[in-house]
């Protein structure tokens, strides 16, 4: 399961979502600007206030780190 913690104004978040769509990877997008509990959860798992934060099966990736995302999703 891929979870993306994002905000509507985050350019990197949108790039990440477009990238995952292009690879036919399903994900759940959580807008932390509208949900304080999810924002607190994101900070707890990442130690970060910035987005995107990506949770791939329990592995946390900070920012759109394409190489790390590809590794975790076994993409080439």
pLDDT at 26 exceeding the cut of 70: yes
CATH of domain 29-76: 3.40.30.10
How far is 9 from 60, CA to CA, in rounded Å?
21
Contact predicate 25/32, CB 8 Å: no
CA atoms within 13 A on the CB side of 12: 14
Averaged pLDDT for residues 19-37: 97
Sketch the domain layout of the chain as residue ranges. 29-76
Q: What is the pLDDT of residues 35-66, one digit of tens each?
A: 999 999 999 999 999 999 999 999 999 999 99
The distance in angstroms from the start CA to the end CA of the chain is 19
**Which pLDDT band holds residue 75 (cuts at 50, 70, 90)?**
confident
Supply the pLDDT for residue 76.
67
pLDDT of 30 > 90? The answer is yes
């Amino acid at each position: 399961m891929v979870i993306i913690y994002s905000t509507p104004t985050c350019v990197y978040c949108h790039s990440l979502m477009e990238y995952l769509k292009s690879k036919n990877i399903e994900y759940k997008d959580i807008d932390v600007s509208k949900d304080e509990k999810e924002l607190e959860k994101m900070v707890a798992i990442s130690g970060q206030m910035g987005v995107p934060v990506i949770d791939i099966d329990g592995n946390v990736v900070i920012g759109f780190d394409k190489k790390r995302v590809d590794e975790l999703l076994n993409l080439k």
